[in-house]
Structure formats: C-alpha cells, structure tokens
C-alpha cells in the first residue's frame, strides 16, 4: 500500500483545502448542506489531482530516474509499473467525475474539467516553457477556489483571488529555485525548463510575489465589502501571521534547508506546522465568534 499511497500523492491533497475558502469566508462553514457540497468538490479535486500526478509521473519517468529525489517515485523506481499506473489514473479520473456529478453543480464540474485539461497539457507540453509552467500551477490554485465558490453559489473577492494568485506564483518560483539548487549541474537533464531560469531571476520573482501576496491580503482584509460582509474589521490583525509564514518559507530556501516544495515544507517545518493552524483558527474565531 505504501507505494500506492505515495503514487497518489495523498499528502498533496492539502492543496485542495483551497476549495473551502469560499465556504469559510461566505460564513457558511456551519451550514451542513453547503459543507457537504464543498466536501464533495474537495474529494473530486483530490481524485483528479492523483490522476494528474500519475499521468505526469508516467510521462516523466525517464527523466525522474536521473533526479536525486524523484528517482524514488514509485513509477520511476519500478515499484509500480506503467500499466498499473495507467489503471490507477483511470480509476482516479472516474472517481473525480462521479463525485463531480454528485455535487449537481455544472459550473464546478466544468472547472474540474478545465483543471484536468490544463494539467494534461502541462504534463506533456506546457511544462517545457519557462514562466508558462509556473503560471499553469497558479491557474490550478485559482480553479480550486472558483470551484469551491461555484458549488455553493457565492462570489469570491477580487482581492482574495489576487492574493491566491500571487501566493501560488511565490511558491511556484520558490519551488523552481529549490529545484535548481538540488539539481545543480544537471538541470537540463532532470527538468529541461530549469535551464531557462537563473537563480537571480527566481529570487527577484519570488520576493516580488511575496510582497504582492502580503499587500493583496492586507487590502482584502480592510476592503469595505469584506468588512461589511464578515461584520468585522479585525482580519487585518492576521496579516502578521501571513507575513511570518511567507518569510519562514523564504528563509528555508535561502538557508538551503528546503527543496522548495510547499507541501514538503509544510509537513517538515515545525514553525509552519504550528503557524498554519493558528492562522486558520484565528480567522474562524474572528469572523464566526466576534
């Protein structure tokens, strides 16, 4: 089971928690029907993301075998055959479609289809082009938020979407920065697109997006529509927590402690493991119990 769970990238399901943002910030977290609909979308994106990871690993297996860390992936290492991987991808895709149908939301279903289509193109074509590869990852995060909003029929603040956009670009550039350090001297072999990036460019891009993330978040927190809808203007005081998280991630990259993968960072760095739930609980307390 361990290779199968590894191949499904279960720990990466944490990215799909983004579908719950509209539920939380529309004050519907305690509404069972809305929560159930959002949870189904969450499960659908988990199944879809597993299918995407499997397809990507099948396509990347030859290069992954030359990578110091990715060579241990189940398909690259031979623990799971290509045929078995294809069957797993089909089953995951089928689960995603069935779960999407259960939501009875055409819009969220279309967004899931766009997510699958975009990532299939990414696996075979788009990841070969610098910047395009990172922007594809960013769109994937936005699609999750949009699907979560669509299934319960609520709008999403433009400032919040800009925050998600800049934050995902920050982490995307950070991940590329970590990959260049990890594969120094073999970037063209392990991931061809890395040879189009320089460490200096990625540093500038990463810190630009970090600044924008903090600024957009603060602007969302003090926006008149946000404070009126949520009934509180205290969210601005969660900005230091957001800045602390951003700086912690950047510090780990600067000190070569991390490979830049946001999921690995979150599950291995104790300060971030504490900071994220503290932020989440603080936000819920501020908007639901003020």
Pair 263, 15: CB distance under 8 Å: yes
Question: Within this chain, do residues 140 and 178 fall inside the same structural domain, yes or no?
Answer: no
Domain boundary among 115, 133, 156: 156
Question: Within this chain, do residues 183 and 259 fall inside the same structural domain, yes or no?
Answer: yes
Question: Within this chain, do residues 19 and 127 fall inside the same structural domain, yes or no?
Answer: yes
Name the stretches of the chain with pLDDT < 70: 183-190, 257-259
pLDDT at residue 274, as a whole number: 95
Question: Within this chain, do residues 80 and 168 fall inside the same structural domain, yes or no?
Answer: no
Closest CA to 283 of 42, 43, 33, 29: 29
Question: Within this chain, do residues 131 and 222 fall inside the same structural domain, yes or no?
Answer: no
Question: Within this chain, do residues 223 and 285 fall inside the same structural domain, yes or no?
Answer: yes
Question: Within this chain, do residues 143 and 88 fall inside the same structural domain, yes or no?
Answer: yes
pLDDT at residue 62, as a whole number: 84
Question: Within this chain, do residues 222 and 99 fall inside the same structural domain, yes or no?
Answer: no
> Distance between CA 104 and CA 160 in Å, rounded?
26
27: CB partners within 8 A, 6+ apart: 229, 230, 287, 288
> Distance between CA 58 and CA 76 in Å, rounded?
8
Instruction: List the CATH number of the domain containing 136.
Output: 1.10.357.140
Question: Within this chain, do residues 165 and 140 fall inside the same structural domain, yes or no?
Answer: no
The count of domains in the chain is 2
**One-letter-per-residue 3-state SS of the chain:** CHHHHHHHCHHHHHHHHHHHHHHHHCCCCCCHHHHHHHHHHHHHHHHHHHHHHHHHHHHHHHHHCCCCCHHHCHHHHCCCCHHHHHHHHHHHHHHHHHHHHHHCCHHHHHHHHHHHHHHHHHHHCHHHCCCHHHHHHHHHHHHHHHHHHHHHCCCCCHHHHHHHHHHHHHHHHHHHHHHHHHCCCCHHHHCHHHHHCCHHHHHHHHHHHHHHHHHHHHHHHHCHHHHHHHCCCHHHHHHHHHHHHHHHHHHHHHCCCCCCCHHHHHHHCHHHHHHHHHHHHHHHHHHHCC
Residue with tokens 């433009």: 158
Question: Within this chain, do residues 6 and 142 fall inside the same structural domain, yes or no?
Answer: yes
Q: What pTM does this model have?
A: 0.93
Question: Within this chain, do residues 130 and 16 fall inside the same structural domain, yes or no?
Answer: yes
> Distance between CA 188 and CA 259 in Å, rounded?
17
Query: Where in the sequence is the domain holding 213, given as residue range(s)?
Result: 157-290
Domain boundary among 95, 130, 156: 156
Tokens of 238: 């969660």
Tens of pLDDT, residues 166-190: 999 999 999 999 888 876 655 555 6
**For 209, phi and psi rounded to 5 degrees?**
-70, -35
Closest CA to 263 of 168, 148, 196, 182: 168
pLDDT at residue 64, as a whole number: 78
Question: Within this chain, do residues 130 and 181 fall inside the same structural domain, yes or no?
Answer: no
Domain boundary among 100, 127, 156: 156
């Amino acid at each position: 089971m361990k290779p199968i769970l590894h191949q499904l990238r279960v720990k990466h399901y944490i990215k799909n928690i983004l579908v719950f943002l509209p539920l939380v910030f529309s004050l519907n977290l305690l509404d069972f029907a809305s929560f159930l609909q959002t949870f189904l979308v969450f499960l659908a994106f988990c199944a879809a993301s597993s299918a995407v990871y499997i397809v990507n690993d099948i396509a990347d297996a030859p290069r992954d075998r030359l990578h110091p860390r990715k060579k241990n992936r189940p398909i690259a290492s031979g623990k799971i055959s290509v045929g078995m991987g294809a069957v797993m991808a089909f089953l995951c895709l089928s689960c995603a479609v069935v779960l999407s149908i259960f939501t009875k939301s055409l819009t969220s279903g279309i967004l899931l289809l766009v997510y699958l289509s975009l990532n299939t193109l990414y696996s075979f074509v788009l990841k070969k082009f610098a910047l395009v590869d990172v922007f594809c990852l960013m769109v994937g995060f936005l699609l999750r938020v949009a699907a979560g909003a669509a299934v319960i029929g609520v709008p999403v603040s433009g400032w919040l979407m800009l925050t998600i956009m800049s934050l995902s670009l920050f982490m995307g550039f950070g991940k590329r920065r970590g990959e260049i350090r990890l594969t120094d001297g073999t970037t063209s072999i392990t991931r061809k697109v890395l040879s189009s990036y320089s460490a200096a460019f990625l540093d500038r891009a990463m810190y630009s997006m970090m600044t924008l993330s903090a600024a957009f978040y603060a602007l969302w927190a003090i926006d008149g529509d946000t404070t009126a809808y949520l009934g509180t203007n205290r969210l601005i005081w969660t900005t230091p927590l957001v800045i602390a998280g951003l700086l912690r991630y950047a510090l780990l990259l600067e000190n070569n402690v991390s490979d830049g993968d946001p999921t690995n960072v979150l599950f291995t760095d104790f300060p971030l493991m504490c900071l994220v739930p503290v932020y989440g609980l603080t936000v819920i307390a501020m908007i639901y119990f003020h």
